[in-house]
Structure 1
Amino acid sequence: MKNETNFTQAFAQIPMQAVGPFKLIGDVEVDDLMVPMATYETPLWPSVARGARVAAHSGGIRVTLVDERMTRSILLQAPNAGIAAKCIAQLQASQDDLQTVVAQSSRFAKLIDTHFQIVGNLIYLRLEFKTGDASGHNMATNAADNLIPWILQNYPDLDYVSISANYCTDKKVSAVNGILGRGKYVVCECTIPAKFCKRFLKTTPQALVDLHIKKDLIGSIVSGGLRTANAHVANMLLGFYLATGQDAANIVEGSQAINHAEVTPDGDLYFSTTLPNLIVGTIGNGKGLDFVLENLELLGCRNPNVEPGVNAQRLACIAGATAFCGELSLLAAQTNPGELMQAHIKLERAASEQMQQAEQAE
């Protein structure tokens, strides 16, 4: 008797709103941008909107794309460490040959660097690629799949162990991604006048800086946090990722973000959020759903008249700015005893009542 499993496709409904308006300057120049976020945590929308509002009044969020790359690490085995080291030295001197093989897998994939670790007779080879407007998971893996037979043919002392060696590192907390890079490396920053801190955030620059030091920095050290010093970046990234068709599991490495805050000589607040591991794309799996296409259009990330990669770069900058706004707003709220919980109770209760009214109306 033949075993057959039937799968019925269904869609999960997650509340979604566009929040803002955002003003971005630097590598992305845009006014009055509304950013979609899909989340069950309804207080997130007004919180991010508050951060966007105060930043817009302060001149906008400066976004800078520092770097971009997607990685796949492969695992090979040599008879001994000496042969492993010799093969790696030769491989790293053959970048042009490797790129020729990569080009056969995709017209967008471009090998830009390699790194390695040798453990005993094992070779952990980290391959780093440009992947155009795709987030690049499959493109990098396909390129690696094409490279492995070429490597084994040209280096017969080596044996295949795995297409993925955990030195990538994909959807796991690690130090290597922050050090070597995986995805888009985005820095978002803004200087907020003290009067706007009081008016919009109900706090002072000094109070927010003090909390940042004691919570984001010392608190993260006490907890054993790894390359992370933020309040809740994962919240904003998940909402943004779900609304724009991203692989939501990538918030694991994406949320390894670092806030920095200081009081300027004029008594204003300088605040920044650095996100070295933002993995986003505007084409590929998950991007064909109607609501995703509409949201990418809303964000200006479906422009056919730009070079490959520019749409994804813009998307990453907007994702970083969204995280920045949520960080700024939450830290401000936490400088005031009771504000965070009161907001949650008020907003979540209102959302629950609206849902009950909608169900009764049906």
Structure 2
Amino acid sequence: MSADLRGVRGFFQRLLAERTQQEIEQGLTPTLEDFPPSVPWRDTPGTISPEEVDRRWDILDVGMSVRHQLIDAMTREQMNSYGKNIENFIGTVKLPIGLAGPLRVRGLFANGDFYVPLATSEAALVASYSRGAQAITKAGGCTAAMIWEGVTRAPVFVFNNLVEIGKFMAWASEHADTFKGIAASTTRHGRLIRTCFNVEGNHIYLIFEFITGDASGQNMVTIATDAVCR
């Protein structure tokens, strides 16, 4: 984002009023000494070890009261259920939850009146959502129809000229089923359904289109695409 001249001048005036130029440069200079300990990460993939959780807490300069708030008895009991969702686990936090609605949906699949729980600490957010949902409901509901779903990734390949791009396109088009098999080997839930081409100069993008079941699938399709490219 650009900054105008007046804003830049004001920023530097405020900055130099608090410290010298030498202090600023020193604070911005990278240092290669006195590294703090790295966060321990030895959990078996898909599991969380209580011993490793305690080791991570041991490197933090906080009191036991903070630890007990984030790693309470229920969290310790259920921590292994988070094993596939987070790394370097140290605990859980609670957020206030508000209820918005009702929201009337008239769709091909979702059809009915819904109340929506929202976890947030932003004041007025739930109230705004709730007013909007109620207005939509009193107007008869929102109509929704999904005609297509998919998640795409578009790796780019660079060649010297159009002839090389043409040869690559011919090769890739003959291996579309191979690409699908490689992608399928990385996930049980996602599926590569289509490969498209987009040429820009000496660049060609392979546009891989996936369906990912009930998941958003952002990591899923990235991993699958990486496997295909390799």
TM-score, normalised on structure 2? 0.55
Cα 1:2–1:26, aligned 2, differ >3 Å: closer, same or farther? closer
Q: Deviations over 1:10-53 (max 9, x none)?
A: 5565432121112211221122x210222333222222212222
Displacement of 1:5: 1.8
Cα distance in 1, alignment partners of residues 169 and 222 from structure 2 = 20
Aligned length: 148
Mapping 1:247-326, distance limit 5 Å: none
Displacement of 1:70: 1.2
Counterpart of 2:163, as a letter, is: G
Cα 1:100–1:10, aligned 2, differ >3 Å: closer, same or farther? closer
Residue 138 of structure 2 corresponds to residue 45 of structure 1:
no
Displacement of 1:3: 6.4
Mapping 1:52-71, distance limit 5 Å: 52-71=133-152
Secondary structure of the residue aligned to 1:87 is: helix
Mapping 1:110-189, distance limit 5 Å: 110-149=191-230
2:37 paired residue number: 4
Cα distance in 2, alignment partners of residues 75 and 54 from structure 1 = 45
Displacement of 1:93: 4.7
Cα 1:3–1:44, aligned 2, differ >3 Å: closer, same or farther? closer
Displacement of 1:79: 3.7
Cα 1:59–1:73, aligned 2, differ >3 Å: closer, same or farther? same
1:30 to 98, 112, 117: 112
2:190 paired residue number: 109
Cα distance in 2, alignment partners of residues 145 and 61 from structure 1 = 39
1:347 paired residue number: none
Displacement of 1:103: 1.7
Q: Deviations over 1:179-198 (max 9, x none)?
A: xxxxxxxxxxxxxxxxxxxx
Mapping 1:72-87, distance limit 5 Å: 72-87=153-168
Counterpart of 2:111, as a letter, is: E
Larger radius of gyration: 2
2:23 paired residue number: none
2:102 to 16, 21, 25: 21
Secondary structure of the residue aligned to 2:148 is: strand
Secondary structure of the residue aligned to 2:168 is: helix
Cα 1:127–1:49, aligned 2, differ >3 Å: closer, same or farther? same
**Contact in 2 for aligned 1:17/1:45 (Cα 8 Å):** yes
Secondary structure of the residue aligned to 1:67 is: coil
Displacement of 1:141: 1.5
User: What 5-or-longer segments of structure 2 have no aligned partner?
Assistant: 1-33, 40-55, 58-89
1:285 paired residue number: none
Q: Deviations over 1:54-100 (max 9, x none)?
A: 32233222221132111222232334332113312442354323212
Counterpart of 2:224, as a letter, is: A
Cα 1:26–1:120, aligned 2, differ >3 Å: closer, same or farther? closer
Q: In percent, how many aligned pairs have the same letter?
A: 32
Counterpart of 1:4, as a letter, is: P
Secondary structure of the residue aligned to 2:221 is: helix
Cα 1:83–1:63, aligned 2, differ >3 Å: closer, same or farther? same
Q: Deviations over 1:92-139 (max 9, x none)?
A: 354323212222222322112223333443332221101112211121
Secondary structure of the residue aligned to 2:145 is: strand
Cα distance in 2, alignment partners of residues 22 and 3 from structure 1 = 50
Cα distance in 2, alignment partners of residues 110 and 29 from structure 1 = 27
Residue 180 of structure 2 corresponds to residue 99 of structure 1:
yes
Cα distance in 2, alignment partners of residues 2 and 25 from structure 1 = 57
Cα RMSD after superposing both structures: 2.7
Mapping 1:213-228, distance limit 5 Å: none
TM-score, normalised on structure 1? 0.36
**Contact in 2 for aligned 1:85/1:118 (Cα 8 Å):** no
Cα 1:14–1:59, aligned 2, differ >3 Å: closer, same or farther? same
Cα distance in 1, alignment partners of residues 198 and 155 from structure 2 = 11
Counterpart of 1:64, as a letter, is: A
